[in-house]
Structure 1
Amino acid sequence: MTVTRDLQQIEDANASGRPPVVFVHGLWLLPSSWDRWADLFTEAGYAPVVPGWPDDPATVEEANAHPEVFARKSVGQVADHFCNLVGKLDRKPAVIGHSFGGLITQITAGRGLSAVSVAIDPAPFRGVLPLPISALRVASVVLGNPANYHRAVPLTYEQFRYGFANAVTEGEARELYATYAVPASGEPLFQAAVAHLNPWTEVKVDTGNPARGPLLIISGEQDHTVPWAIANASYKQQQDNPGVTEIVEIPGRGHSLTIDSGWRQVAETALAFVRRYH
């Protein structure tokens, strides 16, 4: 069902004649986390495409009832899935991704498939070395048990509060958890944890490709999962690309910055950058 829905979105985007924009979600979220962004970009004249990862359920309720569908999804598998979908568009799209979706966004750009890219609190790739304590604490939810490599791992509310919703009120944090949180594949976190030790890792980005196009990295100032040190190290890895490379920090925001009550500020920052180049 997910594949059929994704292909229909691509067909609709191609038929619209509008410039396409593809949204890529990260771990512990579903495509529905982008619904308000898709509406905003539609109003701005774009054709949004919001694909799922392979086997994503349609709803949060279905996802939490069948967590096993998230297991055994590697970075390479997900990247190839998105790149294949992007390749079916008649025009190179803008690609916007959050967290591990931000990593997939940079992989896609590094393959020369994007017109312009925005990576929001992006997960690190090979060569991005800082590992702040807060990021370790978040990753330990999965990495603390080697068996999680092949499992789907849910977050407790307390883990979600620390990793995603630390910069919002308690009431909003609980609402976000109930509305958006789903289990996630453990494999990408294990892959990212050892990427700098593995020359054959799937967690790598071709930062030098001159066809990469313009790239904006957005960092939430209070993000525990992908703190500034990681986002800025990704920016520095990308800086030598001949394309435009920019980074901006959004004050007072945590990892939930794409879904919480301040989402519009982040979305408009992304939209302004996309408009300059697409």
Structure 2
Amino acid sequence: MGTSKPTGTIVLIHGAWLNSHSWERVKTRYEAKGFTVIAPDWPLDDRSPEELRAAPSPGLAELGQRQIVDHYERIIKTLPEAPILIGHSLGGVFVQHLLDRGLGSAGVAIDPAPTPGVPIHLRALVSALPVFLDPFSRSKVKTMSRRFFRNRFAQTVTADNADALYDRYIVPTPGRVYWDGIVNPMRIDWTNPARPPLLLISGGKDLIADASMTRAIYREQRRAPSRTEYVEFPFRSHWTLLDEGWEEVADAALAWATTA
């Protein structure tokens, strides 16, 4: 007799500089395991990366974190069951906000960006400088340079692959989502008794979201009574779900969430 595949719903939440296209490998892998997987774009991000770079929507400049979290909440509430929530980078921050609202059966925050209530650590601060050094960036759509991508976002990628990966995945992002983290940010109730289980995953070579910052988020989140755990992959960068060996991270996230 064959064994049945697990069933359930997973919502994948992307971060800044990427859209749902960045989940293509993970989505296919999880679907092959029997899950229903949706990877919604942020509002105004629902085109190919090439199209978005060529002509980003003017309204993207006004998009903020609260609007994005509300957008995902509406989607989740239409689902027939509480889904597993898996987010990367700023998407990992949104997972924490959604769990704080009591949404989802469990959540995984992979390389979470700076999270309100936890100081921004050095690597994250340095990586945010291209946005913060532009005093008008809060009302602009920003574009990541190829040099920044090669040196900080995906520095473990081989140089001959970097441009092709940039072309396939990188999109413009609203500067506002950076400023929202420090100007009137949404707060998280670290002791929320209704918060579903949460796993925090970091990469030891991450130059965008320091592993030390993820550990600091974990120390706050474990104040909640629900299950809260931390896993570190020492040799992985912020590009972890698209870099060689991404399957190990994707599988660890799913294995934890399905047993939480």
**Matched residue, 2:3:** none
Mapping of 1:91-130 within 5 angstroms?
A: 91-130=81-120
User: Hey, what's the Cα distance between the residues in 2 that align with 1:169 and 1:108?
Assistant: 35
In structure 2, C-alpha distance between the alignment counterparts of 1:214 and 1:240, rounded to whole Å: 12
- 1:140 and 2:123 aligned: no
Report SS of the residue matched to 1:76. Answer: helix
Following TM superposition, by how much is the alpha carbon of 1:236 offset from its aligned partner in structure 2, in angstroms?
0.8
Q: Which of 165, 174, 180 is the matching residue for 1:191?
A: 180
Tell me, yes or no, if structure 1 residue 174 matches structure 2 residue 163. Answer: yes
Q: CA RMSD in A?
A: 1.5
Amino acid at match of 1:79: V
Match of 2:24 among 11, 16, 35: 35
Q: CA deviation at 1:175?
A: 2.5
Separation in 2, partners of 1:175, 1:265: 23
What do residues 242-264 of structure 1 show as CA deviations (whole Å, max 9, x unaligned)?
A: 11111111121111101222221
Return 168-177 or 25-34, whichever deviates more: 168-177
Tell me the secondary structure at the aligned position of residue 276 of structure 1: coil
1:13 — aligned with what? none
Match of 1:3 in 2: none
TM, length-normalised to structure 1: 0.87
Identity %: 36
Q: Give the distance between the partners of 2:124 and 2:232, measured in 1 at CA.
A: 17
Unaligned runs of 5+ in 2: 1-5
TM-score normalized with structure 2 length: 0.93
Name the structure 1 match of 2:237. Answer: 254
Q: CA deviation at 1:168?
A: 2.3
Does 2:149 align with 1:160?
A: yes
Q: Is the 8 A contact 2:88 2:109 kept in 1?
A: yes
Quick check: 2:82–2:105 contact (8 Å CA) kept in 1?
Answer: yes
Q: Provide closer, same or farther for how the CA distance between residues 69 and 266 of structure 1 changes in structure 2, counting only shifts above 3 A.
A: farther
Matches of 1:171 and 1:205 in 2, distance apart? 41
Structure 1 consecutive aligned stretches of length 4 or more whose deviation exceeds 6 Å = none
Structure 1 unaligned segments of length 5 or more: list them.
1-16
For residue 137 of structure 1, report the CA deviation from its aligned partner.
1.9
1:155-214 deviations in Å (ceiling 9; x for gaps): 11111122311122212322321211111010111122x25xx4xx22x22332222111
Q: Is the 8 A contact 1:130 1:233 kept in 2?
A: no
Map of 1:150 onto structure 2? 139
In structure 1, distance between residues paired with 2:69 and 2:45: 14
